[in-house]
């Protein structure tokens, strides 16, 4: 694996209420990810799944170095509650927790909680939110704040953390508002990337030289041969008319990356012989997949790294077999 690449997996989280004892599987995944050199696991947020902070506690309990990357949605808790939660878990386990700042891409969820802010307004609030959370985590004294969405008067939370345990801020998205957010308060800009040449002209061109790290979120289906990889990827795969209609509708999404992926999926299922939008078209994942032999996928990933990508967020890496095939690609990146 390239010494400059940080790999973060995804914690598979069930809908509420879980239909089985979920904790042993999550614990096993966390240990497996740590044993295979992953830096952390991304923990999702939406209305229907387990609370990401509870999941983060399990990840910390079951590992020694793994860093939870927790999806934080500003409307779910006030900044001082977020700071208390982060400081409490960090203090209990003496480990950093990173934050993936999400502002809401599902219109039905925003409608359910009466969210009145538009796309850019939610990003503007997120700048204020993250700024305030970081102040609460880094200030030893009371905090007074009266700007925009939040008002505090001499707020004392006792949440100051040492510098090395302060969260890193990951910001997904590729819109102008997302760029403003990551430029203002972020450490890592994340996107579901387009094929590498388009990525070079868009996301990479925007963020290279900006002072923040770049990351991409993809899945991989890699096998010893190209034929084996595609046979596995396409097994049972079928895009029906309803799926294609949903993809066309996504071209009108508020989310910039969603619009871009929907456009790609409408053009073709496969780009560059490796980049596949098939599972995105069927709604089984929000990220593209890289499909091919170990060498093919490693070469394609290497082109993203050559453009400055240093964070790789992977979907669908759960079982021992998944980690085996993933490592076969990652070890080739260092060659």
**Of the given ranges (158-172, 243-257, 258-272, 299-313), which has the lowest mean pLDDT?**
243-257
Mean pLDDT taken over the chain: 90
What CATH number is associated with residue 202? Answer: 3.20.20.30
In a domain? residue 84: yes
Cα separation, 149 vs 156, in Å, equals: 19
Domain annotation covers residue 1: no
Is 87 inside a domain boundary? yes
Each residue of 212-243: pLDDT tens digit?
999 999 999 999 999 999 999 998 776 666 66
Residue 178 falls within a domain, yes or no?
A: yes
| Rounded (10°) CA dihedral 178, 179, 185, 190 | 70
Report angle CA 151, 156, 159 to the nearest 5 degrees. Answer: 110
As a whole-number percent, the residues of the chain with pLDDT over 70 amount to: 91
Task: Give the model's confidence band at 260: pLDDT under 50 very low, under 70 low, under 90 confident, else very high.
Answer: confident
Rounded Cα gap, residues 38 and 16, in angstroms:
27
CA 150 to chain centre: 26
Q: Is the peptide bond before 121 cis (omega within 30 degrees of 0)?
A: no
Q: b/e string for 229-250 if b means 16 or more Cβ within 10 A? A: bbeebeeeeebeeebeeebeeb
Instruction: Specify the pLDDT at position 175.
Output: 82
pLDDT tens-digit readout, 139-179 = 888 999 998 899 999 999 999 999 999 999 999 987 888 88
Q: Which of 165-169, 218-222, 267-271, 310-314 has the lowest mean pLDDT?
A: 267-271
The contacts of residue 106 (CB under 8 Å, 6+ apart) are: 46
Q: Which residue range forms the structural domain that includes residue 27?
A: 6-333
The model's confidence at residue 263, banded by pLDDT at 50, 70 and 90, is confident
Give the mean model confidence (pLDDT) for residues 286-299.
94
* Closest to 155 (Cα-Cα) out of 142, 139, 138, 140: 142
**pLDDT the model gives residue 240:** 63
Asked whether residue 213 is domain-assigned, the answer is: yes
Q: What is the DSSP letter of 49?
A: B
Q: Count up the domains in the chain and report the number.
A: 1
């Amino acid at each position: 694996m390239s010494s400059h690449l940080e790999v973060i997996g995804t914690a598979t989280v069930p809908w509420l209420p879980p239909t089985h004892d979920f904790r042993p599987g999550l614990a096993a995944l966390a240990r497996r990810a740590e044993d295979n050199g992953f830096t952390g696991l991304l923990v999702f947020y939406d209305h229907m799944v387990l609370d990401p902070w509870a999941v983060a506690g399990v990840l910390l309990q079951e590992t020694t170095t793994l860093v939870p990357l927790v999806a934080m949605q500003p409307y779910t808790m006030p900044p001082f509650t977020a700071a208390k939660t982060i400081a409490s878990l960090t203090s209990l386990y003496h480990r950093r927790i990173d934050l993936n700042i999400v502002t809401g891409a599902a219109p039905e969820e925003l409608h359910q909680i009466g969210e009145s802010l538009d796309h850019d307004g939610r990003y503007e609030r997120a700048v204020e939110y993250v700024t305030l959370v970081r102040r609460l985590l880094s200030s030893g004294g009371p905090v007074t704040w009266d700007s925009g969405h939040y008002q505090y008067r001499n707020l004392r939370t006792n949440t100051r953390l040492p510098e090395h345990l302060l969260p890193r801020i990951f910001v997904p998205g590729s819109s102008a508002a997302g760029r403003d957010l990551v430029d203002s308060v972020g450490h890592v800009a994340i996107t579901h990337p387009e094929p590498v040449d388009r990525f070079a002209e868009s996301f990479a061109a925007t963020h290279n030289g900006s002072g923040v790290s770049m990351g991409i979120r993809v899945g991989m289906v890699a096998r010893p041969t190209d034929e084996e990889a595609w046979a596995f990827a396409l097994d049972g795969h079928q895009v029906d008319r309803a799926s294609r209609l949903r993809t066309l509708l996504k071209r009108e999404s508020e989310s910039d990356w969603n619009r871009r992926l929907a456009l790609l999926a409408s053009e073709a299922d496969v780009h560059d012989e490796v980049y596949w939008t098939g599972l995105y078209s069927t709604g089984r994942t929000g990220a593209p997949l890289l499909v091919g032999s170990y060498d093919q996928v490693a070469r394609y990933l290497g082109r993203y790294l050559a453009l400055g990508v240093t964070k790789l967020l992977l979907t669908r890496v759960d079982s021992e077999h998944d980690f085996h095939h993933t490592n076969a690609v990652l070890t080739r990146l260092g060659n």
